[in-house]
Amino acid sequence: MEAPIRILIADDHPLIRQGLRVVIETQPDMELIGEASDGERAVRQAAELHPDIVIMDLRMPVKDGLAATREIAQADPHVQILVLTSYPDDDNVYSAIKAGAMGFLLKDSSAEYLLDAIRTVHRGESVLHPTIARKLMVEIKQPPLLPPTADPLTPREVEVLGCLAQGMSNRQIADELSVSVRTVSAHVRNILDKLHLANRTQAALYALQQGLAPKPH
């Protein structure tokens, strides 16, 4: 039996933490290992407890969730951060993903949606609430933020990057390109290394900015 997903909650509202606690503790494949009421405590507990997932609120006292996300991601790239916010129009959405967040959900999401998002992010895949995704599409239409890579992608890597921009999982990309999942994972790692990106979400945004996949209307 696989070890449970170790989760740290960071939110300054006790009722939100309580609700998340109740939902998580009903799941046999998840373990709540800590709670933090501000960003500074979240950074400290992440360093001490080594969670698999941090569920992060963006608006917190002492240190906000954006700064905490950046510090946790830099200190331990293996920690996956799932942002949970009440504000779909928060200007920090794009910045949080650039800082290393792997997922972005609204606090009014259903318990089932949240649990599925936790498992998806734990697999190393990205999750974006549809409302958040639409906001990101607006951001993407701005001029490219990243310079061209000095180490060009191979034709196959360009294909994989285009698939990432369409939100495809590694399994879906493997089926699409008739290769193994392991091969796709290797291509994704090479893409992130060459483009100096932190995760699949950033790679997808880069692909859209560079015109490697159709932009939603």
What beta strand segments (E) does 95-205 contain? 103-106, 127-128
pLDDT, tens digit (0-9, with 9 covering 90-100), for 41-98: 999 999 999 999 999 998 888 998 888 998 998 898 889 999 988 776 555 666 777 7
Do residues 134 and 55 both lie within one domain? yes
Angle, in degrees to the nearest 10, between helices 39-49 and 65-75: 20
Residue 60 lies in a domain: yes
Q: How far apart are CA 202 and CA 192, in angstroms?
A: 9
Residue 146's pLDDT is what? 53
19-29 as b/e, with b when 16 or more CB fall inside 10 Å?
bbeebbeebee
Which domain CATH number covers 153? Answer: 1.10.10.10
Q: How far apart are CA 49 and CA 46, in angstroms?
A: 5
Give the per-residue pLDDT at 92. Answer: 66
**Model confidence band, residue 216 (pLDDT cutoffs 50, 70, 90):** very low
9-43 per-position pLDDT tens digit? 999 999 999 999 999 999 999 999 999 999 999 99
Our count of domains for the chain comes to 2
- Could you say which of 106, 139, 172 is where a domain stops? 139
Mean pLDDT of the chain: 83
Of 139, 163, 194, which marks where a domain is finished? 139
Domain hosting 154: range is: 146-209
When pLDDT is averaged across residues 117-146 and rounded to a whole number, the result is: 70
Instruction: Please tell me whether residues 163 and 128 are part of one structural domain.
Output: no
Quick check: is 215 in a domain? no
Alpha carbon 99 to chain centroid, angstroms: 10
CATH of the domain at 134: 3.40.50.2300
- Within a domain: 216: no
pTM, full prediction: 0.63
> Both 17 and 113 in a single domain?
yes
Q: pLDDT tens across 139-186, in order?
A: 555 544 455 556 788 889 988 988 887 777 788 889 989 999 899 989
> How much is the pLDDT for 101?
86
With vertex at residue 120, the alpha carbon angle to CA 214 and CA 59, rounded to the nearest 5 degrees, is 85
Same domain, 90 and 178: no
Same domain assignment for residues 124 and 189: no
